[in-house]
Structures are given as structure tokens and as C-alpha cells.
Amino acid sequence: MNPEPARPHVLVVAVGTAGDLYPFLRIARELIARGRRVTLLAPSVHEAAVRRAGVPFHGLGTEEEYRAALEHPDVWHPRKGFRVLWEGMRGNVDALPAIVAALPAHEPLAMLAHPLALLGGALARTRRPDLRIVAAWLAPANLRTVHDPMTFGPLPMPHWVPHAARRWLWRRIDAGMIDPVAVPDINAAHARYGLPPVSHFIDRLQSIADANVTLFPPWFAPTPADWPRPPSLRSRTHRPRAASCSSRRACTTHCLRRFAARSAGMVRRSWCHSPVPLRFPRAPRPSKNCSRCCVARSAIA
């Protein structure tokens, strides 16, 4: 008689404020309802909310670190804010590899990760090469594009600006505000874990996941041609086209079922719009450059 296979274990990793947490918490509960073992990893300040929802929790960082970043005077500054957020997170870069290394080696393992947790997920994969990572993108602004509608923070890009000029502008922003802050820390971590160095933060971030899920519906933002789209997607995609989903709930159910079924080492690189039907009061529709809780609440309610 063959022994019963180990139950897949899904690590749901959320980073940020409550607006970032809620979509991941809802997905975690859905996966638990489908019989998967789930642990939600998030800033320790969210522990009470997660445990009230009946989801196993593992804290990341301290409440003091969380408050220090959130209350920093530059946290919402258009040029300085990224440095504040990065400095608040980099102390936890080794947390995910340590957590993954401590899990049973025979247990099938997958990770559903907030974009800012992807770098830690890549390090964790050095401890568990079989780890499959699904990136969950909360808002269109989380993903780089040169296609319309395009914004630099609150500033819209005129439609007549050519794509080549837009790419140049992104590279200038990366070179001036993003890469000098993040790349040295990323390469220091890569050196500790035997990974090659990188040159650009955004390029590295968008190349890590085995599959991608957008937590907003197609009507909120279409899928531009330059969002991360591995070549394998063109030849063997397993996602439903947005137009074929009869309802947002049907699309969500399909994607969650597929993720739960394939997360144990069989997730292929793919894209799917998967708006989670959270029950929040509907707020006014935000602008597309907003990636905070207003997007999470209105785009997936």
C-alpha cells in the first residue's frame, strides 16, 4: 500500500500595510478551505488580524521596525519614499530562506508572494530548489510598462511620447533613485547565497516568479505587451482569457483551484487576472497609479 502523499504547503507572504494584507489573507483562507496547508507570513503587527481569520501566522520583523518605516517623514515622498521602504525591509532579507530551510524537506512547497517579497523568495529557492513562486501583483502601478496609460507617480505620460523615449526615462529613474538604493543590498545577499550579481532592481524583481497573478480585474487595467511574459506563455498557456470568464468570481475560483492543484511543483509560468471577491464597502475608483489600500479595496471588492 502506497503511503499517502504529503499535503502541499503554501507560504503566503504579504508585505506592507493592511491594504496589502487583505487580498493575501482572503486567498489564504480560500486555499485552507480547499484542503491546503497554509502559513501566512507578514509583518508582526498584523498577527492579531490574521489569527482572528483562522489562518496560521508567522511574523516578519518587529512592530517597532514597522512603525518606524510607516511614521518616517519621507515615506510618502515621491523620490525618497523608496529608500525608506527598502531600509525598513532589508533587515529581514534572510528571514524567508531561514523559514523555508526549517520546513520538512519531503513536504511539497509553494509560495504566493507580494512583489516586495519576491527577492526573499529567490533566496529561499537556494535552500529549496523545488520551491515554486507565484507573484501576486496588487495594482497596475506595481508593474513596469511603456504602454498607455503610463504614469510617473502622479504624472501622466503624453500618448505621443515614443516607446524608446519612455524606456530611456525609466532607466534614468532606475539609475537615479532605485538601483543605487537596492542593488548593492541585493548583490550582497546574492553573494551570501551563491547567486550571480544583478544590475537592475526592476529587471530582477520581474524575473523571479514561476507564475504571475494580477489581483485586479481586466476592466481596471489590460495586460500590456511588456509585462513579464516568459516565452513559454506563448506556446503553452493554461490561463483562461479574461473575456472567457463569465464572472469575476468564476475567474477567481478557477485560478485559485489551479494554484492549489499545481502549487506543489507543477506551476508553469503564466498570467491570470484573478480579482479576489473581498467584501469591503465599494470606494470611489482610484487612479491607476495608486498602489496602496485604495486600489486593493476598490479593485477587488
φ/ψ of 62, rounded to 5, equals -115, 160
Measured CA to CA, the distance from residue 25 to residue 20 in angstroms comes to: 9
Rg (CA), the chain: 19
Residue 4 located in a structural domain: no
Residue 1 located in a structural domain: no
Question: Any idea what the CATH number is for the domain that residue 293 is in?
Answer: 3.40.50.2000
- The distance from CA 217 to its chain's CA centroid, rounded to whole angstroms, is 16
Measured CA to CA, the distance from residue 128 to residue 125 in angstroms comes to: 5
Is-contact 127 204, C-beta < 8 A?
no
CA quadruple 42, 79, 295, 118: dihedral sign: negative
% of the chain surpassing 70 pLDDT = 74
Q: pLDDT tens digits for 42-80?
A: 999 999 999 999 999 999 888 888 888 878 887 777 778
| Domain tally, the chain | 1
Higher confidence at residue 283 or residue 98? 98
Cell of 39: 502559513
Measured CA to CA, the distance from residue 143 to residue 153 in angstroms comes to: 13
Is-contact 209 132, C-beta < 8 A?
no
Q: pLDDT tens digits for 172-183?
A: 988 888 999 999
Full residue range of the structural domain in which residue 71 is found: 9-299
Is-contact 14 42, C-beta < 8 A?
yes
Measured CA to CA, the distance from residue 154 to residue 161 in angstroms comes to: 17
Residue 2 located in a structural domain: no
Residue 192 located in a structural domain: yes
Q: What is the mean pLDDT of residues 227-254?
A: 40
Q: pLDDT tens digits for 196-226?
A: 999 999 989 988 998 888 888 888 887 888 8
Residue 3 located in a structural domain: no
